[in-house]
A and B are shown apart, each in its own frame.
Chain A
Amino acid sequence: QKEVEQDPGPLSVPEGAIVSLNCTYSNSAFQYFMWYRQYSRKGPELLMYTYSSGNKEDGRFTAQVDKSSKYISLFIRDSQPSDSATYLCAVKAAGNKLTFGGGTRVLVKP
């Protein structure tokens, strides 16, 4: 079993819809939770970073962490074609090692 599981998609939505992405993880030692966005042929860029359970909002993006269920989510409101990318969740225990999910490919259709 992988440490972080993420549905690979692709997830296709019409412009303006809410995009819902999620990951599950197996190790309760993970304390830090991140979402990265990766456009085709580019490096991942950090979108959201959370430490505790609960919600964190940044513009159209909301990250949710439920440590009791080992479940993390990312919601994108009012999705735009420019949101079409692969979204990678990442988790971290103490130390510097990030463990990534396999990524979910999202396609927002105009």
Chain B
Amino acid sequence: DTAVSQTPKYLVTQMGNDKSIKCEQNLGHDTMYWYKQDSKKFLKIMFSYNNKELIINETVPNRFSPKSPDKAHLNLHINSLELGDSAVYFCASSHEGVETQYFGPGTRLLVL
């Protein structure tokens, strides 16, 4: 009974490729997020969607494009991957106005 799930768990790819990461939550939440965690464990928000509408868009290269087909799903597409994109990407979800966020297991991206 995974609350927030992500696929794939691991992603190894070449520089310049385009890749997607998928996230699904079965908690009935209306807000979903993408975070990036670098090698020093620093966790930083990238995007947030509420009811399929983008509400947080931090300073992220426009090679990163989130897409929310419905409230339970938030995907992340990355174009022209660069070495610096190597990190762990976490999806999270919450109810709007409720402070606690629930995180997925992460997708480990390695760009060679």
Contacts and interface: CB of A to CB of B under 8 A. Distances in A.
B99 A45 contact: no
A100 B42 contact: yes
Contact of A43 (B31, B94, B96, B104): B104
Contacts of B43: 44, 88, 100, 103
Contact of A96 (B42, B48, B103, B104): B48
Q: Interface residues of B toward A: which range? A: 20 to 34
A97 B105 CA distance: 20
Interface residues of A, number: 25
B100 interface: yes
B44 A43 contact: no
A19 B56 CA distance: 35
B74 interface: no
Interface in B29-52: 31, 33, 40-45, 48, 50
15 contacts: A8-B40, A32-B99, A34-B100, A36-B103, A42-B105, A42-B106, A43-B92, A43-B104, A49-B100, A88-B41, A96-B55, A97-B48, A99-B45, A102-B42, A103-B41
Interface of A: 8, 32, 34, 36, 38, 41-46, 49, 51, 86, 88, 92, 95-100, 102-103, 105
Interface of B: 4, 31, 33, 40-45, 48, 50, 55-56, 90, 92, 94, 96, 99-106
